[in-house]
Structure 1
Amino acid sequence: MVDMILSGDTIYFLIALFVAIGVGVGFISGFFGIGGGTILVPILLNLGFDIKSAIGISVLQMFMGAVFGSYINYKNKKLVLNDGIVVGIGGLLGASFSGFIVLNMPSIVLKLAVLFILFVAIIKFFQADVVNDNPKDISKFVMFIVGVFVGAVAISAGIGGALFLTPIFVGFLKMDIKKAISIGLFFVIFSSFSGLISLGSAGLVDYKSGLMIGIGSIIGVYFGVKFGHKIDKITQKRLALGLYIIMFILMLKNILF
């Protein structure tokens, strides 16, 4: 898209716009521990990108933001690396079943299943006591199984999966919300890296636009992660719950209309 515009002033404006978009998406990604693709793709579509290019740019942005955000979480002792790796590997294994699932399950059934899982996770997340000073320890095996489940379901539905992890970990497994969000962001590294290789080999990644948005995302994710560390758990839960409800409504709208 950048190559199509010859005016120098317009190019500078477009670069500034892409970086600004990346900052906004990166902040949300870092704060909530999600990839940000569900936010970025619609923005890019409205800017005139086709859906394939939008997804390719989104995957590159997610990878850059997730790597940097996870590094910050790790340096601030908010990310237990071993736990994140276990969940991430589970996600990679689960995603490998997505082709079989998509081929053998009607899309409407898959969408309804995702909607139902998200609804139940939101209810459990709403009921969770995030101020509990003694969150439960979760076995590596359970974390791995959660990763497999989320990878299989989410990738089959065309979403990164981090959107599911925090409600499941906090709502069902009573994990500390700060730890769950950091693992969710780390999980994005695995899913986006896999997608980046696949889409890049197919020539579907606009690297110029993606890098500009990705650089903005790195800036945004830094402040999003830092703000997430400072904010109290109850407020973070309420804001996260609001985001999940919005995503649920958008998904429901996609099914109905």
Structure 2
Amino acid sequence: MVDGFSVILGDMSLVWAVAIFVAIGVGVGCISGFFGIGGGTILVPILLNLGFDIKSAIGISVLQMFMGALFGSYVNYKNKKLVLNDGIVVGIGGLVGASFSGFIVSIMPSIALKFVVLFMLMVAIIKFFQADVKNDNPKEISKFIMFGVGVVVGAVAISAGIGGALFLTPIFVGFLKMDIKKAISIGLFFVIFSSFSGLISLANAGLVDYKSGFTIGIGSIIGVYFGVKFGHKVDKNIQKRLALGLYIIMFILMVKNILF
């Protein structure tokens, strides 16, 4: 595997290369902590534009996601924003769902998987747009339903090559009337499970650039702290609008990917 630092070094010093990686990690971590997502959909395109190949970019991204999500979830837990039992139930569901990904990928054409993801994003956006995030009496959701959501998201998302947290908040808030702050914290916690599973698989295949991944991951830990803290303080409606903007961008990018 090509050393990630050699990809961007050129004539610049190692210090500047490290600074660039840390700065990228801080930016991705802020977005990840605020929206409760892994950040891979943001980091991978950045790394590709820096000259990384897709396999190296994914390996670095998964390591960054694991580090950022682990620390961000710790911050959420310390601030009493993460209900650990609920997060574990959803995360285990995700692991179970992800175990079917090999079978799903083997029987479904890639274009069909993309359309499934596109449909799920469209429905999630509509329901999330309709959701009343100011609801002071959010519904209690059974552990069985939360486990089921984790299974479905894990199966579809991992089969399509994404972490899955992008789907969780719209589903929990739009369909199941969960408090948006709680949904975002569970989404970030879910990333720990999905990224850990992916990290093991990619590491066994020799596709993880640990030096680059840890450097960006350190930046991500710094960024996710501030992203999580800001997410705790911001008004729920503002957080909803910003999240909707992110989901719409993802929807547009998916349409572009299918058409072009």
The secondary structure found in structure 1 opposite 2:13 is: helix
Structure 1 partner of 2:104: 101
**Cα distance in 1, alignment partners of residues 119 and 97 from structure 2:** 19
Amino acid aligned to 1:48? G
Structure 2 partner of 1:168: 171
Q: TM-score, normalising length from structure 2?
A: 0.97
Tell me whether 1:22 sits opposite 2:42 in the alignment: no
Q: Would the aligned equivalents of 1:131 and 1:234 in 2 still touch at CA under 8 Å?
A: yes
**Cα distance in 1, alignment partners of residues 231 and 10 from structure 2:** 40
Structure 1 partner of 2:186: 183
The secondary structure found in structure 2 opposite 1:78 is: coil
The Cα of 1:104 is off from its aligned counterpart by 0.2
**Cα distance in 2, alignment partners of residues 151 and 9 from structure 1:** 41
**Cα distance in 2, alignment partners of residues 106 and 204 from structure 1:** 25
Tell me whether 1:81 sits opposite 2:70 in the alignment: no
The Cα of 1:107 is off from its aligned counterpart by 1.1
**Cα distance in 2, alignment partners of residues 2 and 56 from structure 1:** 14
Within 5 Å, give how 1:21-170 maps onto structure 2.
21-170=24-173
Q: Would the aligned equivalents of 1:33 and 1:184 in 2 still touch at CA under 8 Å?
A: yes
The Cα of 1:8 is off from its aligned counterpart by 8.8
- Consecutive unaligned residues of structure 2, counting only runs of 5 or more, are none
- Poorly superposed stretches of 4+, deviation over 3 Å: 3-9
The secondary structure found in structure 2 opposite 1:131 is: coil
Q: Would the aligned equivalents of 1:25 and 1:40 in 2 still touch at CA under 8 Å?
A: yes
CA distances 1:60-83 after superposition (whole Å, capped 9, x unpaired): 000000000000000000000000
**Cα distance in 2, alignment partners of residues 102 and 9 from structure 1:** 42
Tell me whether 1:249 sits opposite 2:252 in the alignment: yes
**Cα distance in 1, alignment partners of residues 150 and 161 from structure 2:** 16
The Cα of 1:7 is off from its aligned counterpart by 7.7
Q: Would the aligned equivalents of 2:7 and 2:52 in 1 still touch at CA under 8 Å?
A: no
Tell me whether 1:225 sits opposite 2:228 in the alignment: yes
- Consecutive unaligned residues of structure 1, counting only runs of 5 or more, are none
CA distance 1:256–1:79, shift in 2 (3 Å): same
Amino acid aligned to 1:181? I
Cα RMSD (Å): 1.2
CA distances 1:156-210 after superposition (whole Å, capped 9, x unpaired): 0000000000000000000000000000000000000001111011110000000
The Cα of 1:127 is off from its aligned counterpart by 0.1
Amino acid aligned to 1:14? A
The Cα of 1:40 is off from its aligned counterpart by 0.2
CA distances 1:22-61 after superposition (whole Å, capped 9, x unpaired): 0000000000000000000000001111000000000000
Q: TM-score, normalising length from structure 1?
A: 0.98
CA distances 1:202-229 after superposition (whole Å, capped 9, x unpaired): 1100000001100000000000000000
The Cα of 1:2 is off from its aligned counterpart by 1.8
Identity %, equivalent residues: 85
Comparing 196-205 and 61-70, the one that deviates more = 196-205
Q: Would the aligned equivalents of 1:5 and 1:11 in 2 still touch at CA under 8 Å?
A: no
